[in-house]
Chains A and B, each alone.
Chain A
Amino acid sequence: MPETAVTALWYRRLVLALLLAPALLWLFALIILPHLDLALLSFRERVAPRQYVVSLAQYRTFFGEPLYWHVFVRTALLSALATALTLLVAFPIAWIIAKLARGRMSALLFVVCLIPFWVSETVRTLGWMILLRESGVLPALLVHLGITRQPVELLYHDATILVGLVYTSLLFMVVPLVGSLESLDNALIEAAYDLGGKGWSILREIVIPHAAPGITAGCIVVFMLTLGNYLTPTLLGGKNSQWFTEQIYTQFITRFNWEQGAAFGFLLLALSTAMVWLGLKISGQRFSDVMRRA
Chain B
Amino acid sequence: MIPTLPRPAWLRAATVLYVAAFLTFLFLPLAVVAVFAFNDAPYPAPPWHGFTLDWFLGNDAAGRVGLFRDDELLGSIWTSCVVAAWVTGLSVALGTANAFLMERARFPGKGALSMLMLIPLVIPGVILGISILAFASRLAELCGDLFGIEADFLRPGLPLVVLGQFSYIAAIATLTISARLKRFDRTLEDAALNLGASAPAVLWTITLPYLRPALIGSAAIAFLMSFENFNTTLMLVGGDSPLTIMMYGRMREGATPVLNAVSLFLMLASAAIALTLVRGGRRAES
Contacts and interface: CB of A to CB of B under 8 A. Distances in A.
Interface of A: 15-16, 19-20, 22-23, 26-27, 30-35, 37-38, 41, 89, 92-93, 96, 99-100, 102, 109, 111-116, 118-131, 133, 135-137, 140, 167, 170, 186, 189-190, 193, 199, 202, 224-225, 227-231, 235, 245, 248-249, 252-253, 258, 261-262, 265, 268-269, 272-273, 276, 287-288, 291-292
Interface in B8-40: 15, 18-19, 22-23, 25-33, 36
Main secondary structure of the interface of B (DSSP, over half): helix
Nearest to A129: B251
Interface in B229-286: 230-231, 234-235, 243-244, 247-248, 251-252, 255, 259-260, 263, 266-267, 270-271, 273-274, 278
Interface in B30-84: 30-33, 36, 43-47
Given A123-B267, A291-B121, A230 B33 contact: no
A136 B230 contact: no
B118 to A, nearest CB: 5
Given A136-B45, A137-B32, A252-B130, A235 B251 contact: yes
B195 interface: no
Contact of B124 (A16, A27, A114, A245): A245
B124 A227 contact: yes
Best-buried of B124, B135, B259 by chain A (most CB within 10 Å): B124
B5 to A, nearest CB: 5
Given A16-B105, A288-B115, A288-B118, A123 B266 contact: yes
27 contacts: A19-B98, A19-B100, A19-B105, A23-B101, A26-B170, A27-B119, A31-B116, A31-B119, A31-B120, A31-B167, A37-B138, A38-B130, A93-B22, A96-B18, A100-B3, A122-B244, A123-B247, A231-B230, A235-B248, A235-B251, A252-B133, A258-B134, A265-B127, A268-B127, A272-B124, A276-B122, A288-B118
Contacts of B97: 19, 22-23
Interface size class of B (residues with CB under 8 A): 35 or more
Interface of B: 1-5, 15, 18-19, 22-23, 25-33, 36, 43-47, 93-94, 97-98, 100-101, 105, 107, 113-128, 130-136, 138, 163-164, 166-167, 170, 175, 179, 224, 227-228, 230-231, 234-235, 243-244, 247-248, 251-252, 255, 259-260, 263, 266-267, 270-271, 273-274, 278
Given A20-B105, A261-B130, 5 more contacts: A19-B97, A31-B128, A34-B134, A99-B1, A269-B127
Contacts of B25: 167
B32 A131 contact: yes
Best-buried of B1, B93, B116 by chain A (most CB within 10 Å): B1
A20 B132 CA distance: 22
A162 to B, nearest CB: 13
A122 B29 contact: no
Contacts of B114: 288
A116 B130 contact: no
Given A120-B244, A235-B248, A249 B26 contact: no
B45 A135 contact: yes
Main secondary structure of the interface of A (DSSP, over half): helix
Given A128-B29, A130-B36, A136-B46, A38 B124 contact: no
Given A34-B134, A113-B26, A265 B33 contact: no
Contacts of A292: 175, 179
Contact of A140 (B5, B46, B231): B46
Contacts of B31: 127
Contact of A253 (B123, B138, B235, B244): B235
A109 B26 CA distance: 12
Nearest to B114: A288
Contacts of B26: 112-113, 115-116, 167, 170
Nearest to B25: A167
B140 to A, nearest CB: 13
Contacts of B1: 99, 189, 193, 199, 202
A261 B26 CA distance: 35
A226 to B, nearest CB: 10
Contacts of B231: 228-231, 245
A35 B240 CA distance: 26
A93 B107 CA distance: 44
Given A38-B131, A235-B248, A265-B126, A23 B46 contact: no
Nearest to A292: B175
Contacts of A109: 19
B247 A26 contact: no
A202 B43 CA distance: 52
A92 B18 contact: yes
B32 A190 contact: no
A37 B131 contact: yes
A229 B125 CA distance: 8
A133 B32 CA distance: 13
Contact of B94 (A23, A116, A202, A252): A23
Best-buried of A123, A268, A269 by chain B (most CB within 10 Å): A123
